[in-house]
């Protein structure tokens, strides 16, 4: 058990991302439904995919620079409001979602694309709501002010 009572063995967001990647690739090959894009148009998926990776790397660096955690089950030591946090309260989840969109476009069939909205909904329910409650308890009015200024996603 950690200080806030959360178990260390809880499943973290990258695990959900990896599972969804597997589901999307499986659906593409086993149940593609309909071809939406063909090569070379599928390369358009590289833009959101690489943007998502870049956003996650930039955000991870910001967490490390401010010596706070990326683990959603641990209390933050700093309220990040600059850099990519000026545009979204959840840059890592946004980055992962962009990566999934890029993958779906790269695969080019309908069934993986239908899975893309599943990830942000899962993150909202499983992680974002509890995280925001914890941030509000930790940072109080500073976090409430940040919430009023910056959208949850984009």
Bridge partner list, 109:
35
Q: What are the helix and strand counts (H, E) for the chain?
A: 7, 0
Answer for the pair 107, 31: CB distance below 8 angstroms, yes or no: no
pLDDT tens sequence across 22-50: 999 999 999 999 999 999 999 999 999 99
Q: Is 35 helix (H, G, I), strand (E, B) or coil?
A: strand
pLDDT band at 18 (very low <50, low <70, confident <90, very high): very high
Q: What is the pLDDT of residues 7-16, one digit of tens each?
A: 445 899 999 9
> Could you give phi then psi for residue 28, rounded to 5 degrees?
-60, -40
Residue 110 neighbours by CB under 8 Å, 6+ apart: 32, 33, 34, 35, 36
Burial tier of 141 (Cβ tally within 10 Å: 0-12, 13-18, 19+): exposed
What tokens were used for 152? 């949850």
Write the pLDDT tens digit of every residue in 87-118. Answer: 999 999 999 999 999 999 999 999 999 999 99
């Amino acid at each position: 058990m950690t200080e806030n009572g959360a178990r260390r063995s809880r499943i973290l967001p990258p695990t959900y991302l990896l599972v969804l990647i597997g589901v999307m690739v499986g659906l593409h090959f086993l149940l593609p439904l309909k071809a939406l894009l063909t090569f070379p148009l599928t390369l358009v998926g590289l833009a959101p995919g690489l943007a998502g990776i870049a956003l996650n790397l930039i955000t991870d660096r910001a967490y490390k620079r401010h010596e706070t955690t990326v683990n959603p089950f641990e209390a933050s030591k700093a309220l990040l409001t600059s850099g990519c946090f000026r545009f979204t309260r959840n840059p890592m989840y946004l980055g992962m979602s962009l990566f999934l969109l890029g993958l779906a476009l790269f695969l080019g069939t309908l069934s993986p694309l239908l899975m893309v909205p599943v990830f942000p909904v899962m993150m909202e329910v499983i992680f974002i709501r509890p995280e925001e409650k914890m941030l509000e308890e930790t940072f109080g009015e500073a976090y409430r002010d940040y919430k009023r200024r910056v959208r949850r996603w984009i």
